[in-house]
């Protein structure tokens, strides 16, 4: 298993008590598969991604990313693990306004101190994979919302992550574009063998993902294997 969460509990301070955002959540995501997470607002979906991304440390439980148990890691080691093994696609693309599409991707390789020439090749390959090879020189204000979201996805894949975590990639898109982004994520997951978790409100098209799990009040329901 490339991404494993075991018995993960996360609470936040809430007045005099604590709010349980994740309640003993366990989930295995094999490489090359996409798990969709659905559930009502506030049920803990983004919290699940935050702990899987090692951005938030849970109160209890274990998280293993590509064979690395994260609990004992220093902050610096966690940052390196995120940079090298985990791709995160937040709902808002957060692209850098002054950079072109290809430069948005190259920045990631620069952070990993990879060779600039190899980075450009990989960036162009990924822009092609997300259908934007022709737009390599465009800046964010020259792109549509759907194009920016595809750049966001390509950028998350720049350092060949083992784990891809995607929060609501289709919420700002119409039905058709949402379906196209989902197809893209399914294809990239298979081709690049990532263990992918995608949070979504949109239950349309979920018949195409490998598995759909649901969150409710911090609890995760995983269907029995078919
Ligand atoms: N930083 C935080 N501090 C305190 N409480 C938080 C924090 N982040 C989230 N919560 C609470 O934890 C619960 C789960 O939030 P989370 O963001 O994981 O929900 P979600 O399922 O992603 O919701 P949405 O569909 O609206 O994005 C909510 O009750 C929320 O108010
Ligand atoms: Mg959320």
At 85-136, the pLDDT tens digits run: 999 998 888 899 999 999 999 998 887 777 888 899 999 999 999 999 999 9
At 16-43, the pLDDT tens digits run: 999 999 999 999 999 999 999 999 999 9
The pLDDT value recorded for residue 118 is 86
Residue 92 alpha carbon to ligand 1 centre in Å: 16
Do the beta carbons of residue 101 and residue 143 sit within 8 Å?
Answer: yes
Ligand at minimal distance from the CA of 220 is 1
Ion ligand 2: residues, CB within 5 A, are: 46
CB-ligand 1 contact for 12 (6 Å cutoff): yes
Strands (E), 39-162: 60-65, 68-69, 86-89
Residue 174 alpha carbon to ligand 1 centre in Å: 25
The pLDDT value recorded for residue 21 is 98
The pLDDT value recorded for residue 1 is 64
In this structure, the number of other CB atoms found within 10 A of the CB of residue 67 comes to: 10
The pLDDT value recorded for residue 177 is 80
CB-ligand 1 contact for 18 (6 Å cutoff): no
Would you state the structure tokens that stand for residue 52, as one six-digit string? 């899987």
Residue 45 alpha carbon to ligand 1 centre in Å: 8
Do the beta carbons of residue 118 and residue 143 sit within 8 Å?
Answer: no
At 136-155, the pLDDT tens digits run: 999 999 999 889 989 999 99
CB-ligand 1 contact for 43 (6 Å cutoff): yes
Best probe residue, ligand 1, of 14, 47, 201 (max atoms within 8 Å of C-beta): 47
CB-ligand 1 contact for 167 (6 Å cutoff): no
Do the beta carbons of residue 157 and residue 192 sit within 8 Å?
Answer: yes
Mean pLDDT to the nearest integer, 206-212:
93
Gap between the Cα atoms of 82 and 91, Å rounded: 18
* Phi, psi for residue 186 in degrees, rounded to 5: -65, -45
Best probe residue, ligand 1, of 42, 55, 203 (max atoms within 8 Å of C-beta): 42
Ligand at minimal distance from the CA of 42 is 1
The pLDDT value recorded for residue 91 is 81
Residue 190 alpha carbon to ligand 1 centre in Å: 30
Do the beta carbons of residue 168 and residue 182 sit within 8 Å?
Answer: no
At 69-98, the pLDDT tens digits run: 999 899 999 999 999 999 999 888 889 999
Gap between the Cα atoms of 221 and 119, Å rounded: 40
Best probe residue, ligand 1, of 9, 17, 21, 39 (max atoms within 8 Å of C-beta): 21
The pLDDT value recorded for residue 20 is 97
CB-ligand 1 contact for 137 (6 Å cutoff): no
Gap between the Cα atoms of 185 and 191, Å rounded: 10
């Amino acid at each position: 298993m490339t991404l494993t969460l075991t018995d993960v509990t996360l609470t936040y301070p809430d007045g005099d008590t604590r709010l349980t955002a994740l309640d003993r959540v366990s989930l295995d995501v094999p490489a090359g598969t996409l798990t969709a997470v659905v559930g009502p607002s506030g049920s803990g979906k983004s919290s699940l991604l935050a702990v899987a991304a090692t951005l938030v440390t849970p109160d209890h439980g274990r998280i293993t990313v590509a064979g690395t148990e994260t609990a004992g890691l220093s902050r610096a080691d966690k940052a390196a693990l995120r940079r090298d093994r985990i791709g995160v696609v937040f709902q808002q693309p957060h692209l850098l306004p002054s950079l072109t599409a290809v430069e948005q991707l190259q920045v990631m390789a620069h952070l990993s101190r990879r060779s600039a020439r190899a980075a450009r090749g990989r960036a162009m390959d990924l822009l092609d994979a997300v259908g934007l090879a022709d737009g390599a020189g465009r800046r964010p204000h020259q792109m549509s919302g759907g194009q920016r979201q595809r750049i966001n996805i390509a950028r998350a894949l720049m350092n060949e992550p083992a784990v891809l975590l995607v929060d609501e990639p289709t919420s700002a898109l119409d039905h058709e574009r949402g379906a196209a982004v989902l197809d893209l994520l399914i294809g990239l997951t298979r081709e690049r063998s990532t263990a992918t978790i995608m949070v979504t409100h949109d239950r349309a098209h979920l018949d195409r993902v490998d598995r759909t799990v649901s969150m409710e009040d911090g609890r995760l329901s995983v269907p029995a294997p078919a």
